Amino acid sequence: MSNALAPQQAAGSLRPAAQFDLSPQNFEQALTFSNYLAESDLVPKDFKGKPGNCLIAMQWGAELGLKPLQSLQNLAVINGRPALWGDAVIALVLASPVCEYVTEDDDGNTAYCRVKRKGGPEQVRSFSMADAQKAGLTNKQGPWTQYPKRMRQMRARAFALRDVFPDVLRGMPVAEELQDMAANPLPVQKHMGPAEVVQAEWPTDKWAARLPQILDGIAQGKTVDDALAWLGSKGKVTAEQEKELRDKTARLQQPTTTQAGAPGAPAVAPDKLAADLQACADLDKLYELGGLLDAITDEAQRLRMTEIFDARVAQLEQP
């Protein structure tokens, strides 16, 4: 069976016979016309009670060369996307001066659409029942089981006209094709959660070089949390590095003891302090004892106590 269509027939089918024309001439008229159309019972359900849809459909139609009422009758909204019905697609192509002919036929199993653009070779697109089965269409209740020949024709037509006349159709999809896609949606992708960002740790050498500057900033009024936040923006601060920073900050912020010999200065027995320093197992308590070093009046003894203190700090800071 063959169905050859002439361009002159399609051109006449798209133009109203009468001269009376309600096409709006400006935006205000288009808004008013859209409200009237939305209240009418003669528009498809996609536009009933939706003046915004009517306005956008008229604009789409105007870009394709359709009058306002033709636009509403030939445009469909499928999954929020505008599309043209297959009969309007072939009518627009045949009405175009770049189209030489469109021929459609079906052998009972495969539909063929042969098209020729002026100045170009004939091109053929086909769609068979095997194609429909592969696309998962043949076992669906609806048009594919009731009117398979018609649906094959629409698919072959959509492939041919969209491939050869994309400028005429302005990239508009074909409604029958979108309906099939809506009936066979792609599998829903499982959300696996946000990607984990792996941040490189602070290298030991860079940490050692940066630490004195950080401690200096803390001494001038910044907090340890502020310092850790800045350091964390540049690299990952390990638990050992955070502990080192907090320990050194605590030592830095240790209250200054009363100078030796000053009224009210605590009396410190060097031998007892040395024993306490060596026996101390708590780092915070060790820093508290370290605050008594300045109370030792003998410089040699104070130096010996300082060496004991530093050695014990190093031992307790080891992991």
Extended strands (E) in the chain: 2-5, 75-78, 81-84, 99-106, 110-117, 122-128
64 secondary structure, DSSP code: H
**Are 114 and 143 contacting, i.e. CB atoms less than 8 angstroms apart?**
no
pLDDT at 69: 84
For residue range 11-46, list pLDDT tens digits in order.
Answer: 444 555 556 667 788 888 888 888 888 888 888 887
Q: Residue 164, Cβ neighbours under 10 Å: how many?
A: 22
- What is the strand order of the sheet 2-5 is part of? 2-5, 99-106, 110-117, 122-128
Q: What is the pLDDT of residue 262?
A: 45
- Helix (H/G/I), strand (E/B), else coil: 217: helix
Report how far Cα 265 is from the mean position of its chain's Cα atoms: 67
DSSP annotation of 35:
H
CA–CA distance from 311 to each of 277, 283, 287, 296 (Å)? Answer: 10, 12, 12, 18
Whole-number pLDDT of residue 186: 42
CA-wise closest residue to 79 among 185, 168, 212: 185
Distance CA 13, CA 15 (A): 6
Kindly report the pTM of this predicted structure. 0.47
Which parts of the chain have pLDDT scores under 50? 1, 6, 8-13, 185-193, 195-196, 256-265
Report CA Rg, the chain: 42
What angle is formed at CA 288 by the lines to CA 285 and CA 293, rounded to 5 degrees?
Answer: 130
- The pLDDT, as a whole number, for residue 198 is 55
Closest by Cα among 278, 280, 304, 290 to 252: 290
| pLDDT score recorded for residue 314 | 81
Residue type, 307: E
3-state secondary structure 158-215: HHHHHHHCHHHHCCCCEHHHHHHHHHCCCCCCCCCCCCCCCCCECCHHHHHHHHHHHH
